[in-house]
Amino acid sequence: MIPAAIALAAVVVHLRVLGNDFVNFDDVFYITRNPLIAALSPANLQSWFTGFYFGNYQPLTLLSLALDHRLAGPDPRVFHAVNLLLHALNTLLVFHLVRLLLARERGPWLAAATAALFAVHPLLVESVAWAAQRKDVLYALFYLGSLVAYVAFAQRSAGAGRRLYVASVLLFALSLLSKAMAVSLVGAILAVDLYLRRLPRLSGRAGDEPSRPTMSAYLREKLPYLILALAAGVTAVLAQRSAAFLGSPELHTPLQRAAIAGYGFAHYAAQLVLPLGQSAYHPYPAMGTGVPPGFLPHLAFVAAAAAGLVLALRRHPAAAFAILFYGVNILPVLQWLPVGDFIVAERFAYLASIGVFLLLALGLQGLAGRRRRLRAPLTAAFVAYLVLLGVLTDRRCGVWRDSITLWNDVLDRYPDTPLALNNRGLAWAERGDRAAALADLDRALQLDPRYADAFGNRGVVKGERGDYDGAIADFDAALRLAPAFAAARAGRADALFRRGVARFQAADYAGAVADFERVAAGRPDDPGVRQNLNAARSRLQGLNGGGD
């Protein structure tokens, strides 16, 4: 009854997502304009498993999205409902993982507290409410399933539970095929072994700690995980490079990169305790040539966490496991190599949060155990905390209602963010409010005069307003900044064609011919362009002939 109630709570606090639309932040690439999910065809199946898409290798995620599309077409309610269902299932798995692993430490109560925090915490909303983040909730499902199977296997006597072991490896492979971040499972199972005291014995003598495997047996056991993780890691780097998503390490000094990693480590942990200042986008602060003073408290937190881990390893194995679980899941996403132009992203904390939540539950249990008279007020305070988190989660789901509400929220926190202004401008344009769209795009280009996407988008809006000269100038600027910008090239041709039509209608046949010829140079087989060009030439020749 307890895990079922917690899973139900996870659904209730996120119910608002069922009324949300898609947003113009990856949903466009993964769902609304993704030809690879429009059909469950053999060609698409081959593409998912043999190629990269949008800088990632995530064939199972694409398959999942294609199944949704097959079920109900591009209906956002279905995509959001599946995300929510997966989150509820993940909540159940969190409960069973903690209950199974920490059975000797009042596991069910620790499991209930940890799972409840995971179910209703607002920092995890991004992974649930953002349809394109299907990869988060899907890889977490297989990851947690793999870890539960491994814990059950590890608690059995040597040689027993081979089916559980095989299931764990297979589920790990499925998790990697959903998102490469699953490589952190290797560190998680080492943390499990450390807690269960089954790290390998150095001696092979039978009488030497028989409950622990020998080094050779231990390495054989871990080899499939290591091979899968290495293959997935290499594939992920190649996929990111294929889309030029990996930033240059030279963007920041080694000291700055270490400070950025420390900032992320502390930021996620603090947000999981006190979720304030959330945003779908967190741009880098001005770094200068050194480390900003504001990063120093975060680095102090990292040092304190390291010291806490050392102490916990001796006295509190469960707390040590919680710290290690958080660490191994958050370390890969601390921007050691810059990925994107954001310093932190809330979706990165989805699985790592379990470590912090378990640590909070252990602390609560420790206080209640030492002072029995505090049990009732501590329980009441914890329930009130969960209710507050649930209210914040409900509100946060509302932020993801559509593109306007999402980027309004980002701009409330970071007013001078070109990406947010560009994307909100696109959203205004889709609603038909071209004046608001131009205002946002103008501001984005004032802040970043080399923003090729903003030039291209402003060109589209200007063309829709009939300002073909301005549109062509913007498309030209976009192509100077990004010569391979196919959408800008197509938009420029469209603006030239429409200006040619306008000139033809105004009897400026020479101008129309010039515009149609420029379009025809890039589209020589387009019958509509050729027809308009011939008509303009005919009128121009007739006009010239009439003047002779």
114: pLDDT strictly greater than 90: yes
> What is the spatial distance between Cα 393 and Cα 397, in angstroms, rounded to a whole number?
6
Question: 356, 371, 399: which is the final residue of a domain?
Answer: 399
For residue 283, is pLDDT > 70?
yes
The predicted-structure confidence for 436-474, as pLDDT tens digits, reads as follows: 999 999 999 999 999 989 998 999 899 888 898 888 898
**Across-strand partners of 283?**
342
Whether 404 is covered by a domain: the verdict is no
Q: Which domain covers residue 270, as residue numbers?
A: 2-244+252-399
Q: In the predicted model, what is the mean pLDDT of the chain?
A: 88
DSSP readout, 177-216? Answer: TT-GGGGGHHHHHHHHHHHHT-PPBS---TTS-TTS-BHH
Same domain membership, residue 263 and residue 124: yes
- What is the dihedral sign for C-alpha 337, 346, 269, 344? positive
Q: Residue 250: its pLDDT value, please?
A: 58
Tell whether 405 is covered by a domain.
Answer: no
Specify whether the CB–CB gap between 504 and 532 falls below 8 A.
yes
* Phi, psi (deg, nearest 5) at residue 110: -65, -40
Indicate if 9 and 142 belong to the same structural domain. Answer: yes
Residue 434 included in any domain: yes
Residues 25 and 131 grouped into a single domain = yes
Virtual torsion, Cα 150, 192, 218, 350, nearest 10 deg = 70
Which of 339, 372, 399 is where one domain is finished? 399
Give the chain's domain count: 2
The answer as to whether 34 is a domain residue is: yes
Secondary structure (3-state) at 74:
coil
Q: Is the pTM of this model over 0.85?
A: yes
Say yes or no: 373 and 457 in one domain: no
Look at residue 547 in the predicted model and tell me its pLDDT: 45
Quick one: 150 and 200 in the same domain?
yes
> Is 538 a member of any domain?
yes
Same domain, 498 and 529: yes
Same domain, 526 and 493: yes
**Same domain for 214 and 305?**
yes
Same domain, 66 and 163: yes
What gap in Å lies between CA 277 and CA 59, rounded to an integer?
Answer: 34
Site of tokens 């007020």: 377
What length is written for the chain? 548
Cβ contacts of 249 within 8 Å, gap of 6 or more: 257, 337, 338
Q: Is 78 a member of any domain? A: yes
Q: Which of 365, 399, 433 is the last residue of a domain?
A: 399
Q: Are 308 and 323 in contact (CB under 8 A)?
A: yes
Q: Are residues 379 and 457 in the same domain?
A: no
Residues 420, 389, single domain; the answer is no
518-539 average pLDDT score? 81
Strand partners for 246: 339
Q: What mean pLDDT is predicted for residues 385-412?
A: 97
Q: The domain spanning residue 504 has which CATH number?
A: 1.25.40.10
One-letter amino acid at 461 equals V
Residue reference for tokens 């977490």: 140
Instruction: Answer yes or no: is 408 within a domain.
Output: no
Domain membership of residue 195 (yes or no) is yes
Q: Which of 40, 28, 43, 42 is nearest to 68 (CA)?
A: 40
Pair (390, 336) in one structural domain = yes
